Amino acid sequence: MEAEVREPGDALAAPAGWRPLATHPVGAIIAHYAERSFVAGDPTGQGIRVRYAWRAMSPDEACVVTAAEPAALAARAWFGARAEGPPGHAHGGSMAAVLDEAMGLAVWLAHRAAVAAHLETDFRRPIPLGTTVTAETTVGPAEGTGKARATARLVGDDGTVFAEGSALFVLLGPRHTFAGGGA
Ligand SMILES: CCCCC/C=C\C/C=C\C/C=C\C/C=C\CCCC(=O)SCCNC(=O)CCNC(=O)[C@H](O)C(C)(C)COP(=O)(O)OP(=O)(O)OC[C@H]1O[C@@H](n2cnc3c(N)ncnc32)[C@H](O)[C@@H]1OP(=O)(O)O
């Protein structure tokens, strides 16, 4: 039997100063993929609900990026009964999945499409089911070419840091086949 959890209401709306992802030219393409995604593809379900937002990067942030209109990405994420791991709390895999996808999309907005090659997660505090958190991301340089490093944190509205992620992404080029595939 599923736990009873609090619905997010309008808590998934873009944080102050951020805009919905679909209002960015590249973000609109990404939002289209997100509709099919394992992580963000079920916006009314009882698992994870994720809504992405963007803002223009400051010149300081933009120095490490390659996109014509680099943007920073954040997400609001809610964990429902179908995301349960420890009783009454979010499964670590669901937390890692949110971090992974948020970092991947942050890299996509700052550079271009990429896939995760290496992912690390630190679980700092358990997330009670029914909680809405913000996934805050950063994108930085990686050693070598064709790669990017990203970080992300899941932060509660009271400032609690629930989890932190770090990942290496390989930017997709003509030799990669990820853009298509599937039935
Ligand atoms: C909203 C969801 C959208 C989903 C849309 C999906 C597709 C749409 C199309 C594009 C959008 C793409 C992504 C969307 C964004 C986020 C989605 C969430 C993120 C994920 O969930 S994504 C799935 C999980 N992900 C995989 O399924 C990857 C499996 N994997 C591989 O496909 C290969 O493994 C690959 C391509 C990674 C590399 O292969 P490769 O042949 O291109 O290149 P190679 O091996 O030479 O590596 C090149 C340089 O990276 C270094 N390197 C490689 N791996 C490393 C490691 N693990 N640690 C440290 N360094 C590493 C090498 O050392 C070398 O470094 P150097 O050049 O300096 O020598």
* Domain assignment present for 5: no
pTM above 0.90, yes or no: yes
> Is 64 within 8 Å of 42 (Cβ atoms)?
no
Q: Is residue 167 part of a domain?
A: yes
- Confidence (pLDDT) at 183: 44
Q: The tokens of 52 are what? A: 């992405």
DSSP label of 159: S
Count: domains in the chain: 1
> ipTM of this model?
0.91
Do the domain assignments include residue 165? yes
Taking the CA of residue 40 as reference, the ligand 1 atom at the shortest distance is 1
Cβ of 82 below 6 Å from ligand 1: no
Instruction: CATH number of the domain at 24, please.
Output: 3.10.129.10
Provide the Cα torsion 120, 159, 102, 57; round to 10°.
Answer: -120
- How far, in Å, is the centroid of ligand 1 from the Cα of 147? 9
Is position 179 within any domain?
no
- Ligand 1 mean position to 20 CA, how many Å? 26
Task: Look at residue 158 and tell me if it is in a domain.
Answer: yes
Looking at the domain assignment, is residue 2 inside a domain? no
Answer yes or no: is 1 within a domain. no
Q: 114-155: per-residue pLDDT in tens?
A: 999 999 999 999 999 999 999 999 998 888 889 999 999 999
- For residue 133, the enclosing domain spans 19-171
Is 135 near ligand 1, meaning CB less than 6 Å away?
no
